[in-house]
Structure 1
Amino acid sequence: MKQDDATFDVVIVGGGPVGLLMAYQMRRFGVSACVVEQHDTFTQDAYGRAIALFPRTTEQLDQLDVIDPMLQLGFACRSSVTYKEGERVIPGRVWTFMENIRDTTFDFALVLRQSYTEAILRDKVAAVGATYYPSTQCIDFTVDESQPRDDYAVTSVFQDHKTQNTFKIKSKYLIGADGGRSFVRRHAGIPFDGESTEDRWIRIDGLVETDMPLSRAYGAIESKTHGNVLWAPLDHGATRIGFAYTDAIAAKYPRGVTQEVAVQEAIECVRPFKLVFKEVHWWTLYTIGQRMARDFSAQSDRVFLCGDAAHTHSSGAAQGLNTGIHDAVNLGWKLAMVIRDQIHPAVLQTYAAERRSTVQQLLDYDRDIALLMSHKWPAWYTGDRTADPYLALGELFERMAPFNTGLGIAYAANMLNQVGVATTLTVVPGSRPPDVELTTPGTLQPVRLQRVTRNVARFIVLVFTGHIHATRPAMAALAAYFESDKAASRLRSHDAVAWLTISALAGCSPYETLGMKPLGDTYYDTTTLAHNKFGVDLDKGALVVLRPDGLVGGAYDTLDGSLVKEYFAGLLLSTS
């Protein structure tokens, strides 16, 4: 029941996937939260909108214990195809990076329409006890910036569309995840820089029949009249078709676009293949543009923006939902740990810095994609304009594969990503570490590193042992350091830090294998593949600090505990 002057640590405006994931994270991390959605869930589009989740996104959802029901419903796409004039192009172009995803369990694009993603996340939100207000709109908010950070300085006003009643909620923080026309962004006075173009695209989903040879692969159909046509296999046997709605096509329909027009042009854009729609689930016509909020936070870091509220772009690279989820994951643990008085509030400033730099890469990249997909050359292109733009499009997608999959996205040095110490390790602070396979003591069953470091808003210190005869003295010295040094000792019991020992040797028990009590739980690296992928010298061992979102925070090619103490010196606050 809605109550006037209710209080929550975090209020999230917008109940799409990004807002729901934020609410779920907050409750999962022990923070009170509500999510407010202005639309009635049951009257929104039944299908449509975002569809593709790429590997780094699915890894993040797995770390948050969300991915399993999505895998049950989604279409795992590992193959691609490109057609030109009815013939398959060998080698393919554009989506071929899907066939070359390496070093992750999620070596595919998971295709699942947004309505299903939202339903799963609503269930997760309910399961953790976050409050959900449907058909409720934010109409005002104020922030008293003079109040201490742990006070409820944000007062938001909402209107229930069904009763027309208004009510207030007080919170410590407000998050705008309310889309491209974000009320939160506008009311906070944050400019939305960028521009829209004259280019328009149509997307249409449904059940189809076709004589296309490979119809259940992520496809590109190179058309001179309809742009680089998207052919995407969807969940439940459906298909999405996307194409450019050019001026020449629009001239055929002076009365505007209807579902019948979208169907007819979808049939035209895949010729010479035949296409019959058995059902139409959803369609849209939209204008291409790239915009980004001038900042992702405001009012003394009390108000934050995520997802489309912070940035919009074309669907050309299918990055929209992925980018929004990355926003939510980046902000979620930071906000929870600040609210729990575990880390310095200055960490919140890294959210805008890290995410804006990544989004800027996407916008720069997206402008070229949108033009090339529309069979146009970017203004900066000085080459042969009589050449085929789709060749350049394929080269661009290939070059940006690490970004598209998300596995290559990395953040610059900051208070979380500490790169000042020289190291011979191959992992770099601010980047994703390899998801290596380890072995569970006793059962000797395989388990992935990401599974044993699932995100519960804690830093994790990985202690890599090497050859026992070489590293046992250093291990003993490390244990002694954390017992004798007062500041280091507090790290061992800090409620924001967990420890994990990765032993290069397997045995009947971790204690006997190491010859001492291990630091945290122990897993074996029986093949030393994990040590090799992290670049650990088996004669020296190593220490690696993982951020709560699974990225590397610090990497040290020695078992020197003072380096870990130094890493946390400016970050951590309270202890349990």
Structure 2
Amino acid sequence: MEGKTSYSDLVIIGAGPAGLMAAAWASRQGINARIIDDNAERVQKGRADGLHVRTMEILDSFGLATSIEEKAYTLREICAWNPDAENDDRIRRTQRVLSREEELGRYHQLGIHQGFIEQKFNDLLEAEGRLSVERNIKTVSLDLDKASSTNQNAYPATLRIRRPDEACNRETPNGNGTNLSNSLESQLKGSANIWHEEIIKAKYLLGTDGAHSWTRRQVGLSMTGDRTEKHFGVIDIIPLSDFPDIRISCSIHSANHGSVMTFPREGRLVRFYVQLAETEGEEFDKTKITPDMIVQRASQILSPYKLDYDYCDWWSVYMVGQQYASTFDKHNRIFLAGDAVHTHSPSMGAGMNVSMQDTYNLGWKLGQVIKGIAQPHILGTYTAERRAVAAELMEMDQRMSKFYCEGPTSDAHDYSKFRDEFRTFLSGVGVEYGPNILVPPVRDDKEGAIAEPRNGSYETDQSKLYSEQSLATKIIVGQRLPSHQVMNHAEANIVHVHSVLKSDGRWRVLLLAGDIGQPHQMARLKTVCDYLASPSSFVHIYTPDGGKIDSVIEVLTIHAASRPEVEFSSLPEILRPFDPKLGYDYWKCFANNNHGEEGRFSDAYEEWGVDKNRGCIVVVRPDQHVSYLCELEEIEQVTQYFSQILVRQKLDN
């Protein structure tokens, strides 16, 4: 049936965690977006199951972390098991290792199935009411008009889709319905009367449609890397076992039967990753594998302990391999993320995390470009920043796969040391972006050296901007801002800094104003504020007409004075904007725990390595990564920084 033509600023193909993260950004930023999926419903069981520190911070920025924590399994300890030295037909516990991910952020590592995360995103989209997942959608063709891709007002991507007639999914008189997820393809081929066709003209398109990505094939991107002939079974069961660490995550190596990794889950479930076979050139027939076979192999590895099950929630078989694409975009108009551009084994528990972090990186950039807030060239940083992460993931996954495939090596016996090599990367907090247009290079005060590019390029003659890392030695430029507790100056409530860095698309400029109880330091702050209040400052020239002064760039102040010494009303008004209907904004000024008189919590200035007699300015991207560090007196350079990124909204001051 001939269909209509519609227009969309952004189309997302694939409603897994990566696609839903992008949809959440689109919803928050209020752009005209659609998300489509060929399945009839979200994932119900199995698939990915691990959530790390950085991912939880991101989910918290969308208001989703608390409900996930309440349901999920919390990983606090890992046990290593290896062959018994006296009888290698048996295994014995050789090491207990504390997880310690909470040392890297506010959260522990958690375990919960992918479908639960998808549902939380669906709930968010429903509550905000701007877009929802369109299901049972068959993608037919995708074309990109390269000639018009440089015109920001053009819709260069043409996507042709088909959807079944809703009548096909209604109950028949005998109570049976049509299973669209199983028979959609055959229905579309078998009848011309049960589907509707639509052409979508899109400014931007994002493919988050998995390892067998249709979008990737349409744009001609290929995957490179290694695929081994090693096979693992993964199964979620309620175990019937006398194994003493059945509710502890374990790394288990036997002498003769292979290895197992376990990860407890919600609802009494435990996931087992079980080494099955290495085919050595022979064809491995996955169809012959059964859940009983996977559990039987696991039981052999766990000897002398017994393992059986009555309930299996989900299972699958995978081949160990690592592959990723040479680029994650096509002309900065069609983007890919998640498994569509990087695939690896699930043994690190990183897949869902890295995939969501891909679109967390991209989503705000697309939103700002679409809304005319940011210059289109910032989109070029997506491939540079996230492909570098994928490359590191491939390298580490190769090492982890080797660890589980090569038997009880020295790493298996000293698991704590081995795991420490992965811990920071797995947590996600060590991801570092730049130098690039969004993250100017760092200058070393002692030697005047400039950092080499890590995942991008920059032109020093053009930018002439360099971050002074020495101003905040533990706020690493390019990494996400570490979150520490501070006190709301007006309310005396203790909050984490991340709690005020919500994912709403805004930039933040943190004024770490130092001890403003000292007259000279208050004078420095007032000089900064005089500039901010001027018509030529970044908070004015990049704010659209009629927009609130904090709608694009929000200024937050964290001072190091003793709170009773500074009255809220004595702070410059630009730091506590006044609204004629709502009054002053009491939620932009915070006190560091300088003396601890209002409660016991960490000293953020010390944790960040900031001198309380000097302070500094920290520019934070909408994804909570630190972009730029400078002196308080260099506030005009922040305007210069934004001039390379944002679109000037006011031409006359």
* 3-state DSSP of counterpart to 1:101: helix
What are the within-5 Å matches in structure 2 for residues 208-223 of structure 1? 208-223=239-254
Query: Is 1:30 aligned with 2:30?
Result: yes
Q: Is the 8 A contact 2:533 2:574 kept in 1?
A: no
Q: Is the 8 A contact 2:273 2:347 kept in 1?
A: no
| Matches of 1:255 and 1:201, distance apart in 2 | 13
**Aligned equivalent of 2:372, options 338, 341, 347:** 341
| Matches of 1:122 and 1:301, distance apart in 2 | 27
| Matches of 2:3 and 2:133, distance apart in 1 | 13
* TM-score, with structure 1 as normaliser: 0.91
The CA deviation string for residues 337-358 of structure 1, in whole angstroms up to 9 with x for no partner, is 0101111111101010000011
* 3-state DSSP of counterpart to 2:162: strand
| 1:7 aligned partner | 7
After TM superposition, give the deviation of residue 527 of structure 1 in Å.
3.2
Deviates more, 1:52-61 or 1:263-272: 263-272
Query: Is 1:531 aligned with 2:605?
Result: yes
Q: Which residue identity lines up with residue 257 of structure 1 in the other structure?
A: I
What are the within-5 Å matches in structure 2 for residues 173-184 of structure 1? 173-184=204-215
* 3-state DSSP of counterpart to 1:543: strand
After TM superposition, give the deviation of residue 512 of structure 1 in Å.
4.3
The CA deviation string for residues 11-34 of structure 1, in whole angstroms up to 9 with x for no partner, is 111111111221121111111221
Q: In 2 relative to 1, CA 490–11 (structure 1 residues): closer, same or farther, beyond 3 Å?
A: same
* 3-state DSSP of counterpart to 2:430: coil
| 1:270 aligned partner | 302
Query: Is 1:91 aligned with 2:95?
Result: yes
Q: Is the 8 A contact 1:190 1:293 kept in 2?
A: yes
| Matches of 1:348 and 1:282, distance apart in 2 | 38
Q: RMSD over aligned Cα, in angstroms?
A: 2.6
After TM superposition, give the deviation of residue 68 of structure 1 in Å.
2.6
| Matches of 1:440 and 1:302, distance apart in 2 | 42
Query: Is 1:185 aligned with 2:231?
Result: no
Q: Which residue identity lines up with residue 438 of structure 2 in the other structure?
A: L
Unaligned runs of 5+ in 2: 84-89, 164-183, 188-193, 443-465, 544-548, 577-587, 596-602
What are the within-5 Å matches in structure 2 for residues 124-523 of structure 1? 124-128=124-128, 129-147=130-148, 148-160=151-163, 161=184, 163-247=194-278, 256-298=288-330, 300-375=331-406, 388=410, 390-391=412-413, 395-418=417-440, 419=442, 420-424=466-470, 425-426=472-473, 427-468=475-516, 469=518, 470-484=520-534, 486-488=536-538, 489-490=540-541, 493=549, 495-507=551-563, 512=568, 514-517=570-573, 519-520=575-576, 521-523=588-590
| 2:176 aligned partner | none
Deviates more, 1:513-522 or 1:270-279: 513-522
| Matches of 2:529 and 2:325, distance apart in 1 | 47
| 1:383 aligned partner | none
After TM superposition, give the deviation of residue 334 of structure 1 in Å.
0.6
Residue identity over aligned pairs, in percent, reads 26
The CA deviation string for residues 167-218 of structure 1, in whole angstroms up to 9 with x for no partner, is 2222111101001110101110111111211011100101112212222221
| 1:74 aligned partner | 72
Deviates more, 1:446-455 or 1:477-486: 477-486
* 3-state DSSP of counterpart to 1:235: coil
Unaligned runs of 5+ in 1: 377-385
Q: Is the 8 A contact 1:212 1:273 kept in 2?
A: yes
After TM superposition, give the deviation of residue 551 of structure 1 in Å.
0.9
Q: Is the 8 A contact 1:461 1:546 kept in 2?
A: yes
Q: Is the 8 A contact 2:82 2:94 kept in 1?
A: no
Q: Which residue identity lines up with residue 552 of structure 1 in the other structure?
A: V
| Matches of 1:321 and 1:131, distance apart in 2 | 21
Deviates more, 1:470-479 or 1:49-58: 470-479
| Matches of 1:395 and 1:36, distance apart in 2 | 44
Q: Is the 8 A contact 1:83 1:89 kept in 2?
A: yes
| 2:446 aligned partner | none
- For this pair of structures, how many residues does the alignment match? 559
The CA deviation string for residues 61-94 of structure 1, in whole angstroms up to 9 with x for no partner, is 11122223222321122221122246654534xx
The CA deviation string for residues 475-532 of structure 1, in whole angstroms up to 9 with x for no partner, is 1111122234624453583632111011212546975475533525101113371112
* 3-state DSSP of counterpart to 2:153: coil
After TM superposition, give the deviation of residue 472 of structure 1 in Å.
1.0
| 2:453 aligned partner | none
Q: In 2 relative to 1, CA 63–88 (structure 1 residues): closer, same or farther, beyond 3 Å?
A: farther
Larger Rg: 2
Q: In 2 relative to 1, CA 429–561 (structure 1 residues): closer, same or farther, beyond 3 Å?
A: same
Q: Is the 8 A contact 1:205 1:282 kept in 2?
A: yes
Q: Is the 8 A contact 1:541 1:559 kept in 2?
A: no
| Matches of 1:435 and 1:88, distance apart in 2 | 40
Q: Which residue identity lines up with residue 404 of structure 1 in the other structure?
A: L
| Matches of 1:545 and 1:200, distance apart in 2 | 46
* TM-score, with structure 2 as normaliser: 0.81
